[in-house]
Amino acid sequence: MLADAYGRVATDLRVSLTDRCNLRCSYCMPPEGLDWLPKPTLLTDDEVARLVRIGVERLGITEVRYTGGEPLLRRGLPGIVARTAELHPRPEISLTTNGIGLDRLAGPLRAAGLDRINVSLDTLRPDVFRSLSHRDRLGDVLAGLAAAAAAGLVPVKVNAVLMRGLNEGETAPLLRFCLEHGYELRFIEQMPLDAQHGWRRENMVTAEEILDALSAEFTLTPDDPQARGSAPAERFLVGGGPARVGVIGSVTRPFCGACDRVRLTADGQVRNCLFAREESNLRDPMRSGADDEELAGIWRRAVAAKLPGHGINDPGFLQPSRPMSAIGG
């Protein structure tokens, strides 16, 4: 088991497959992009598959989520998913993506064993999409969403981040769009993980503001709190259900006490929290010949040292030195 000193057990493994992305969303990276991780430092497909196998077979991981950067840019993704699906016990396999390229890949990924998908979509307006992401790709994202639904990756989940002065007026339109298409929408408070360190609390649209904006147009009823478990989203039935909307108050309503996550970066470092300031290197011992049990031991010790929470609301909070694109969302 991957247990920490606060009684939490990590069962949800988030694996970043690349730090690269084909968008430049302002809450993540500057318009010119970043210095990407050098190729030799990245885990190969075989190394990813081995570490995921150790997580599942020896450490109690039951869900594997592939992230990035943009994981669809990783050429070996369908093969990595297929190898994950062969593990015993078979974990749930999910993917977080910006949706670009999903129109081609949704079918092959489903066939490889992908169970669920989250697609980021912050706006329905092409002009806002362009200023937010510095790319003109809204049509590709919408095509990707449709392809995911057609491939049976349902319910397709949509993640949206609202920013003041940019897309904060799209709270209700985004929900309307998702209801029309049968997608399940979750709003996420913007977190201080951008490479430029430009996050400001006053620019964050809070969970409360999101709920106020939704309630002006929709009737929301809290979903069964028992069903939430360790899920970060507070879920609400829309108009009595069955459609739902989620709000993830990562900053104003932290859920760290129920956290069941652990992360593996594209260069083979275990991070016990999104906001961890320390990492544990699995890649170098693996390349030096460590056996599975030695690697599992490093991983266990990494999770045992997990702090109780992200500390964003503490006066001494320091943003992690790695940006979100290199941590995995």
Site residues (vs ligand SF4, CB under 6 A): 255-256, 259, 261, 273-275, 309-310
Nearer to ligand SF4, 218 or 275 (CB): 275
* CA nearest neighbour of 150 among 187, 118, 182: 182
* CA nearest neighbour of 156 among 194, 117, 127: 117
Contacts of 38 (CB under 8 A, 6+ apart): none
* Shortest distance in whole angstroms from residue 309 CB to ligand SF4: 5
* Shortest distance in whole angstroms from residue 168 CB to ligand SF4: 23
* Shortest distance in whole angstroms from residue 176 CB to ligand SF4: 29
Nearer to ligand SF4, 113 or 309 (CB): 309
* Shortest distance in whole angstroms from residue 39 CB to ligand SF4: 28
The two tokens of residue 296 are 């599992």
- For residues 147 and 103, is the Cβ–Cβ distance under 8 A? yes
* Shortest distance in whole angstroms from residue 253 CB to ligand SF4: 11
3-state DSSP assignment of residue 260: coil
Nearer to ligand SF4, 6 or 86 (CB): 6
Question: What are residue 107's phi and psi, to 5 degrees?
Answer: -65, -55
CA 191 to chain CA centroid, nearest Å: 12
* Shortest distance in whole angstroms from residue 249 CB to ligand SF4: 11
Nearer to ligand SF4, 130 or 253 (CB): 253
Nearer to ligand SF4, 144 or 246 (CB): 246
3-state secondary structure 7-49: CCECCEEEEECCCCCCCCCCCCCCCCCCCCCCHHHCCCHHHHH
- For residues 145 and 99, is the Cβ–Cβ distance under 8 A? yes
Q: How far is CA 244 from CA 13, 171, 179, 226, 236, in A?
A: 25, 14, 9, 15, 5
